[in-house]
Amino acid sequence: MTLLSTRGLSRQFAGLHAVQDVDFDLPAGQIRALIGPNGAGKTTFVSMLCGRIAPSAGEVIFDGQNVTGLPAHKRISLGMAYTFQVTSIFANLDVAENVALAARRHLRGAARVRGAVDRALEQVGLADRRDQPAGDLAYGHQRLLEIAMGLVQAPRLLILDEPTQGLSEGEIEDFVDLIKGLSGETTILLIEHNMRVVMASADHVSVLNFGEILAEGTPDEIRANPQVQAAYLGSPDA
């Protein structure tokens, strides 16, 4: 079953085609990595999926429903969750309150919320820091907090925009384990620069270049694809 698809999705900024005519299908339960060189349009593309910016043309279909015209908060309540590329948390609030805010939208009752918050903090390894102000956390821990805020929503589609940026080697390994553990429960769309993370965690990879889908396939196919290598390293005849 396809959970998310786009047809002809495009976005221009003052004449620049940031994303152009993208047809994209994401089956339920899959972990999909979205990769591409800087400026390829990855963040613009996922921002259109979750409604942060409106497309110039095309449509987004989530779970069989055309959501192109829906505002972001309605898409989130349909079961999307989004973590920001640049860390975005409630710095003055406690760690637990950050996660609780993410949980309360779909959970009622203080006890249930508390249970879900504890589980999510446990999953990312921040349980012992629940009463600290989130702004006092180290950068890597703030990234993990964002992921916990995504997980606690029990989303059907979790969109992670460069989640491992700024994480230490050890934290990255834990992150890969965490993502693999979610395999089958949640559909994940992962924007990622770290190829080791992509190879280790993704079922399937889509490559975006100059706003268009350049290639799609398994991690091994993508690694062997000469076009992808050219996009990343520059083509020999350029």
Partner 1 sequence: MTAVRKSLLLHGGLLIVLFGLQFVLPAYHHGNLARIMVLASYAIGYNVLFGYTGLLSLGHAMFFAAGMYGMGLGIRFLEMSPALALLAGLAAGLILALVVGYLALRTVGVAFMIVTLMFAQALFLTILYFGKWTRGDEGFVIQQPERVLWGIDLSDPVNRYFAALLLFAVCLLVSLWLIQRPVGRVLIAIRENQERARMLGYDIFAHKLAAVMISGGISALAGAVYGLLFGYVGATFASVQYSIFPLLWVLLGGAGTVLGPFVGTLFMFYLIDLSSALTTAHMLIAGVVLVAVTLFAQQGIVGELRRRFWRWLP
**Interface residue list for partner 1 (CB under 8 A):** 50, 52, 71-73, 76-77, 82, 84, 88-93, 97, 100-102, 104-106, 149, 153
Of the two residues 6 and 98, which places its CB atom closer to partner 1 in the complex?
Answer: 98
Tell the smallest beta-carbon distance from residue 94 to partner 1 (Å).
10
Q: Are 163 and 83 in contact (CB under 8 A)?
A: yes
Contacts of 75 (CB under 8 A, 6+ apart): 50, 51, 62, 67
Tell the smallest beta-carbon distance from residue 91 to partner 1 (Å).
7
Separation CA 48–CA 69 (nearest Å): 11
Of the two residues 52 and 223, which places its CB atom closer to partner 1 in the complex?
Answer: 52
Tell the smallest beta-carbon distance from residue 102 to partner 1 (Å).
5
Of the two residues 27 and 133, which places its CB atom closer to partner 1 in the complex?
Answer: 133
Of the two residues 2 and 88, which places its CB atom closer to partner 1 in the complex?
Answer: 88
Tell the smallest beta-carbon distance from residue 7 to partner 1 (Å).
24
Tell the smallest beta-carbon distance from residue 111 to partner 1 (Å).
13
Separation CA 223–CA 220 (nearest Å): 5
Enter the tokens of residue 81: 């969750």
Q: What is the largest CA-CA distance in the chain?
A: 63
Separation CA 156–CA 3 (nearest Å): 8
Of the two residues 121 and 231, which places its CB atom closer to partner 1 in the complex?
Answer: 121
The partner residues of 17 in beta bridges, in order of sequence, read 12
